[in-house]
Amino acid sequence: MKGIIKGRGEENQSISWREHFSKTDQLQRQVTAIYSLLASIYGSDKLVMKAGKLDALKLMRSKSLEERVLALQRLVYEDPTLEDLPATQDIPVIINDIQDEIADIIARRTIEERIEKKIAERMQQRHEEYIKEVKMQVLKEVSGPDNPHTLKKYADLEKLEAVSLSRSALEMLRPANLGQVVGQAAAVRALLAKVASPFPQHVIVYGPPGVGKTTVARLVLEEAKKLSYTPFSPQAPFVEVDGTTLRWDPREVTNPLLGSVHDPIYQGARRDLADSGIPEPKPGLVTEAHGGILFIDEIGDMDPILLNKLLKVLEDKRVKFDSAYYDPGDPNIPKYIKKLFEEGAPADFILVAATTRDPSEISPALRSRCGEVYFEPLTPKEIQQIVQEAAGRLQTELAPEIPHIISEYTIEGRKAVGILADAYGLAVYRKARTGAQVRVEKEDLLEVIRISRLTPYVTSKATDSGEIGKIFGLGVNGFIGSVLEIEAVAFPVEKGKGKLRFNETAGSMAKDSVFNATSVVRLVTGIDLSDYDLHVNVVGGGRIDGPSAGAAITLALISSLLKKPLRQDVAVTGEVSIQGKIKAVGGIFEKIYGAKQAGVKRVFVPKENEYDIPQILDGVEVKAVKSIEELMKEVFMPSH
């Protein structure tokens, strides 16, 4: 019995060991299956690399179940600090936990794969859309928004561009270098000294129209570019604008001279900027002229407020822009717009301003910042030279009298060239009909004069004869001097009932000169003028703005009273005081020029104006006198 019981105990023990080994074997298979699953998840090579990093490679290859389970823990939880071997009885629980963690990993990987797949699909879609957009952009750039109608319009414009007339006569006959400029040697030298310098300065150029102010300014810049010591580069621009055409808005919405800001709402900036609400600065002509010359013609007619703004730019050498729409913190603002708003646009240029006005009419603030150069009116000889040189450029012959006739009808070089060009056109037309050689004849010029309704510029000419009661005075209009025919007659009347008449159109200053003259006449001759009817006239009704005709009126009255003839090859200017002194007047240079135009041989000016007499007189004698008695000795014809 006892032996039987013992046998059963051994049998039970045998069963428990079998159960133990079967459980262990089952766990081993589970662990192996888990390793296989991990290998399929990560890949065999990556799993080995991962085990090496987590210090689990040796444990993973161990025959001990506990060590292999510890290796699984390190691999699954990615924790190399796990060092305690699990107890055998805890392994099933640990394996369940590991399986749950692996399930989470697989679930995450599945979701990640789905997301990555969707991302890949979306990226592929975006890529295809981008490729399509690029293709459309390329097609736009190649074909643009054109259609057959617009393309036909473009072709018509191209045909028009292909047609070109020859240059205009004035353009072709314009001087090509400073050596071809006639009659302005002093002005050219003065302008060169101020502009073609290491330190160029702003300049105001005065002078009558048509004498070459614009042309000389352009040629002076070309000359300055050739000189190594000037700051002008070979690319220095010459920007030309007419002051009478400069229009601007006080709100700065438009300003072609200084520049303006196109706000995105009111004026409309560029489309891409307007869509972002970004204002767009538009630099003006002063920036276009940066590094060169800004030539403003007729600056005397420019808006005074705009002129003051220009003076500010001359000082700062920069134009500032401002806009309520500008946000310096906006990251979408292009760099060039940010630079223009924060630093302004460069405007370092030399201003050459031309005007036909008197210097007194020009802004004192502008004059204080500029040098001043005066262009001289052209003499008949200079007009004739211009005509001859223009004929050479036209490669045509002129009848001998052509230059002289043209010089009688204008004092402007531009006008003289225009008259010649018209006559040349008639000559070419005549040649086309007859086949004759092109030669400008007197008849061609006279026809142009008749068609253009031209009148001689100088109607009064000096002669070697003498006349009673008639003398040449001198006047100034702008920068042009001219002779004034002043005449007087005297009629004896009943004692004390004489009257004095004078044409009112000559102006109040001239009337004062007449009254002064009557006092001087009585002082010099002793004649009581109340015994005569006196009539003083300015031929042609010329207006006299100053007292400079006093001396001439006095001499005309004396001549008419004494019946003594006055020389007709002399001209007189000067204010006369009631004591008979000749006082200083203005415009001496211009008056001498006017006398030369009329062929006057001698000009008498006040002694006080002696230093105003030009050094080069070219065919006219100028004498300074102090009193009316001194003048009388010079202007009356000698008695025989």
Would you name the residues annotated as active-site residues? 548, 591
Nearest alpha carbon to residue 307 among 364, 348, 383: 364
The residue written with tokens 């030399």 in the block is: 350
DSSP helix/strand/coil, 493 = coil
Measured distance CA(104)–CA(87) in Å, rounded: 25
> Please, are residues 402 and 387 in contact by the beta-carbon 8 Å criterion?
yes
Residue 523: what residue type? L
> Please, are residues 575 and 582 in contact by the beta-carbon 8 Å criterion?
yes
Q: Please give the structure tokens belonging to residue 350.
A: 């030399």
Nearest alpha carbon to residue 474 among 633, 609, 359: 609
Measured distance CA(302)–CA(280) in Å, rounded: 27
> Please, are residues 381 and 413 in contact by the beta-carbon 8 Å criterion?
no
What is the distance of C-alpha 475 from the center of its chain? 38
Measured distance CA(116)–CA(110) in Å, rounded: 10
Measured distance CA(289)–CA(349) in Å, rounded: 6
The residue written with tokens 């004849």 in the block is: 441
Nearest alpha carbon to residue 622 among 640, 609, 637: 609
In degrees to the nearest 10, what's the CA dihedral of 215, 217, 220, 221? -110
Measured distance CA(629)–CA(627) in Å, rounded: 5
Nearest alpha carbon to residue 31 among 4, 6, 3, 59: 59
Q: Please give the structure tokens belonging to residue 607.
A: 């002694």
Q: Please give the structure tokens belonging to residue 84.
A: 């305690």
- The residues, any chain, with a CB within 8 Å of residue 591's CB and separated by 6 or more, are 474, 475, 476, 481, 548, 571, 573, 603, 605
Three-point CA angle 575, 576, 582, nearest 5°: 80
- The residues, any chain, with a CB within 8 Å of residue 413's CB and separated by 6 or more, are 182, 183, 210, 211, 212, 378, 382, 383, 386
Count of CB atoms within 10 A of residue 607's CB? 16
Q: Please give the structure tokens belonging to residue 415.
A: 């006008």
Tell me the DSSP string of 412-449.
-HHHHHHHHHHHHHHHHHHHHHH-PPPEE-HHHHHHHH
524-528's contacts with Cβ under 8 Å and 24+ in sequence apart are 524/558, 524/580, 524/628, 524/629, 524/632, 525/558, 525/561, 525/562, 527/561
Nearest alpha carbon to residue 253 among 282, 291, 286, 274: 282
Residue 295's beta-bridge partner residues?
240, 352
Measured distance CA(69)–CA(35) in Å, rounded: 10
Task: Give the end-to-end CA distance of the chain in Å, rounded to a whole number.
Answer: 200
Measured distance CA(455)–CA(186) in Å, rounded: 30
Cα-only R_g, the chain: 51
